[in-house]
Amino acid sequence: MSTNKQGGSSTAGIPPVEPGEFGRRINTALSRGYSAATPVVETLAKISLGLGGLTALGAWVFGISLLRRVAASLLGVAIGIAMFYGAPYIVAIVKGLSKWIAGN
């Protein structure tokens, strides 16, 4: 292993990263991923809810058993949207609880 200017070791020429810098880089990557996924998820959710609405209209005309399946699929889409948008809050709550348990 080679040593760098700071006295730490590096593997294959990759310098070591401070824990704080590592956390910032991970947070930046997650934030960018979340920002990139948001428009896609919103579009898919709108399409799913629109198709669900049209199917519900068709179920109203053609029968109640199909309406139950449509309602279940719409509920699934709503739960998925809530989980996607609630993920940052859930992560923040888990981080807060872990800090509280650790006594920090």
Under a CB-based contact definition with an 8 Å cutoff, are residues 53 and 42 in contact? no
The pLDDT confidence band at residue 6, using thresholds 50, 70 and 90, is low
Q: What is the pLDDT of residue 18?
A: 86
In this model, does residue 27 exceed pLDDT 70? yes
Domain of residue 65 covers: 2-102
Under a CB-based contact definition with an 8 Å cutoff, are residues 72 and 101 in contact? no
In this model, does residue 79 exceed pLDDT 80? yes
Q: What is the pLDDT of residue 91?
A: 82
The pLDDT confidence band at residue 73, using thresholds 50, 70 and 90, is confident
The Cα 55–Cα 6 span in angstroms is 64
Q: What domain count does the chain have?
A: 1
Under a CB-based contact definition with an 8 Å cutoff, are residues 92 and 103 in contact? no
User: What average pLDDT does this structure show over 57-85?
Assistant: 78
